[in-house]
Amino acid sequence: MVTTGPNCSLTAGNVVLGQTGGAVSASPDPLARIRNLSIVAHVDHGKSTLSDRILELTGAVDAREMREQYLDSMDIERERGITIKAQNVRVGWKGHTIHLIDTPGHVDFGYEVSRSLAACEGVVLLVDAAQGIEAQTLANAYQALEHDLEIVAALNKIDLPAADPDRYAAEIEKVLGVPADEILRISAKTGAGVAELLDAVCERIPPPKGEADAPLQGLIFDSYYDQYRGVVSAVRVFNGRLGSGARLRFMQAGRTHDVEEIGVRLPATTPVASLGPGEVGYLIAGIKDVAEARSGETVTEASRPAPEPLAGYQDPKPMVFCGLYPIDGDEFAALREALEKLRLNDASVTYQPETSGALGFGFRCGFLGLLHMEIVRERLEREFDLSLIATAPSVEYRAHLTDGGTVEVHNPSEMPPPQKLESIEEPYLQATILSPTEYTGTLMDLCQSRRGEMVRMEYLGPERLELVYRIPLAEVVMDFFDALKSRTKGYASLDYEPAGWETAELVKIDVLLNGVPVDAFSAIVHKSQAQEYGRRMTEKLRELIPRQMFDVPIQAAVGGRIIARETVKAKRKDVLSKCYGGDITRKRKLLEKQKEGKKRMKNIGRVEVPQEAFIQALRLEE
């Protein structure tokens, strides 16, 4: 499948592609032969496979070294078959230089997509020919239109027996306005149609604009930490030239650093002398802190700075919070170090120390969503050899107090007492669900049971519809996605974006063991669901907590009111075993004595909750 010959213009002679003075092509304008594009699609529609075929077809990777998901570098990406970090590579095709950025598809990593689009002039929008448009397809297409990018649409997986390209081409034309006859039919797996796709990219996507003589303006759109070389940043040059050895000013951080190395990914990292306007490469400047080279940062020359920075991006805001505690309390320092190192690689994770009476010392961490939380936890356990307990996920609330103040609540234990509360606001999302029409009723029932309000309902065709709901974030973070998939046999897809704050009737539920509150089991829930949550939690704990020498009451309370109760019955010694026959008063005396002992024990006894019980009880809504 690898083509060698006239198509592969990326030979050893022009790896540097004109940065050292040689011309890229006969064209008078060196920018005319450059194309910057991103591949965007819904989860599992074939972005990484298409990247593999492009690398193979352009001869960028030798056939012997080729492997699946070539650009996905993390083990966890390969195992789960998903892309988590955006990756970029430079390839050559028929005299053109193409900078290709492979992006994640999962909604939790949408911020990686928005950063990649800022570095491009066009996108390849990939749609599965057997499934059609999904929620993330729409979200990414609208993002591309907002950035004013050229869209090259392609239907992938045409080799599947279930593929129906004509039907879905008509759907794309109706929903996104891309003419059906311009939509390419490809199979990233077999390579069919990929060469035509590259031709279309060169024809339809406009070349970048920029002036080589202007002051340097380069946009950092991704950074990761290399333990030997410091921060490695992916950079797109808009104006001027980025040369090795230059002294750079990072405009937002206000720091200056000397360039140690610049280069391009072919996909092996290859140093070059300089990067001109429109080119994408990497930059190493001996930076030890990723915060100094954040995504969205503008780099310029310290001696001749640009008048203003480029428009950056919004920082990704954490939406889901949970406590992470080491199972072994001695590992707290190791967990702190692991989080510091992980944050160098994934700047969207936030953390701050917190203590829990039940779990000891740990960190309250913020994540972009549940999948992000799961992946960060798995990376901490795998890459740093830690054993962790995660508390139930919660979202951020705003508590308005009677004295006029406002408190941000990330943890149920931070919730002010009811007598000091004026009102509580919770974050809302606008959720877009795409589904076959036969599941309309079951989806509306699901959204309404999660306190959702319908915004609109639109039929994309005779068999598919788009539902848009306003729904509280707290209802989505638990198991909404799982419920959505199980109710629609996996056919529905979900995309969401923040949609402001609203006042809600929320209460904090405390779980008491033997009259003592256990903060790890506290939760903030809607008033209508408090009874159900309390009952479920007490029943679960009754099964998990081992029997003691005295009765252990497990209670769920809202304020001072008990709303649910279960009891772990005491172990009992048979004190009557040696009493056979005889007077009943003797038996009663022994039983009364045992009862007194248990009463005294209950007053001074502490309930030890085993770690396994915490892990089981805090498992997400089983």
- The per-residue pLDDT for 315 is 65
Q: Do domains 320-393 and 398-504 have the same CATH topology?
A: yes
Binding site annotation covers 7?
no
Residue 474 has pLDDT above 80, yes or no: yes
- The per-residue pLDDT for 27 is 45
Arithmetic mean of pLDDT, 226-230? 80
- The per-residue pLDDT for 82 is 54
Total residue count of the chain as it appears in this document = 622
Q: Are 321 and 376 in contact (CB under 8 A)?
A: no
The residue written with tokens 């009737």 in the block is 505
Distance CA 576, CA 591 (A): 8
Calculate ∠ Cα 278-261-92, nearest 5°.
Answer: 40
Pairing assessment for the beta strands 506-513 and 184-185 based on DSSP bridges:
unpaired
Arithmetic mean of pLDDT, 479-499? 79
Q: 477's torsion region: left (phi>0), alpha (psi -120 to 50) or beta?
A: alpha
| In 427-576, alpha helices (H) | 440-449, 473-477, 480-487, 530-544
Q: Are 424 and 506 in contact (CB under 8 A)?
A: yes
Structure-derived torsion over alpha carbons of residues 553, 558, 562, 565, reported in degrees to the nearest 10 = -40
Binding site annotation covers 44?
yes
Binding site annotation covers 49?
yes
Residue 25 has pLDDT above 50, yes or no: no
The H-or-E segment that residue 508 falls in is strand 506-513
Helices and strands in the chain: count of H runs, count of E runs? 14, 31
Binding site annotation covers 46?
yes
Distance CA 373, CA 357 (A): 23
Burial class (CB in 10 A: 0-12, 13-18, 19+), 74: middle
- The per-residue pLDDT for 605 is 54
Percent of the chain with pLDDT over 90: 1
Nearest to 65 by CA among 365, 305, 266, 307: 266
**Range name among 68-72, 173-177, 539-543 with the lowest pLDDT average:** 68-72
Binding site annotation covers 187?
no
Residue 234 has pLDDT above 60, yes or no: yes
Q: Which pLDDT band, with edges at 50, 70 and 90, does 23 fall under?
A: very low
Q: Are 552 and 545 in contact (CB under 8 A)?
A: yes
Reported in sequence order, the residue ranges of 306-369 that DSSP labels E, i.e. its strands, are 320-326, 350-356, 360-367
User: pTM for this one?
Assistant: 0.66
pLDDT top residue among 111 and 140: 140
Q: What is the pLDDT of residues 555-590, one digit of tens each?
A: 898 888 888 888 888 776 666 667 767 777 877 877
pLDDT top residue among 246 and 290: 246
pLDDT top residue among 292 and 403: 403
Residue 475 has pLDDT above 80, yes or no: yes
Distance CA 182, CA 197 (A): 11
- The per-residue pLDDT for 415 is 84
CATH 2.40.30.10 for the 217-301 domain, yes or no: yes
- According to DSSP, the residues that pair with 557 across neighbouring strands are 510, 562
Arithmetic mean of pLDDT, 73-82? 52
Binding site annotation covers 156?
yes
Residue 503 has pLDDT above 70, yes or no: yes
Write out the CATH class of domain 12-204: alpha beta
3-class secondary structure, 255: strand
Binding site annotation covers 489?
no
- The per-residue pLDDT for 64 is 62
pLDDT top residue among 139 and 193: 193
Percent of the chain with pLDDT over 70: 81
Binding site annotation covers 599?
no
- The per-residue pLDDT for 470 is 92
Binding site annotation covers 595?
no
Which range, 171-175, 311-315, 477-481, is most confident? Answer: 171-175
Residue 83 has pLDDT above 80, yes or no: no
Distance CA 485, CA 44 (A): 15
- The per-residue pLDDT for 8 is 39
Q: What is the pLDDT of residues 358-374, one digit of tens each?
A: 678 889 888 887 778 88
Query: 73: Cβ–Cβ under 8 A, 6 or more apart, which residues?
Result: 85, 87
- The per-residue pLDDT for 614 is 63
Specify the CATH architecture of the domain 320-393.
2-Layer Sandwich (3.30)
3-class secondary structure, 23: coil
Q: Which pLDDT band, with edges at 50, 70 and 90, does 49 fall under?
A: confident
Residue 84 has pLDDT above 60, yes or no: no
Q: Which fold has domain 507-617?
A: Alpha-Beta Plaits (3.30.70)
Arithmetic mean of pLDDT, 166-192? 86
Q: Which pLDDT band, with edges at 50, 70 and 90, does 7 fall under?
A: very low
Which range, 142-146, 182-186, 356-360, is most confident? Answer: 182-186
Arithmetic mean of pLDDT, 260-285? 86
**What is the CB neighbour count within 10 angstroms for residue 391?**
26
Binding site annotation covers 47?
yes
- The per-residue pLDDT for 322 is 83
- Which 8-state DSSP code applies to residue 330? G
Q: Which fold has domain 398-504?
A: Alpha-Beta Plaits (3.30.70)
Average pLDDT, the chain: 78
- The per-residue pLDDT for 319 is 78
Q: Which pLDDT band, with edges at 50, 70 and 90, does 103 fall under?
A: low
Domain boundaries, the chain: 12-204, 217-301, 320-393, 398-504, 507-617
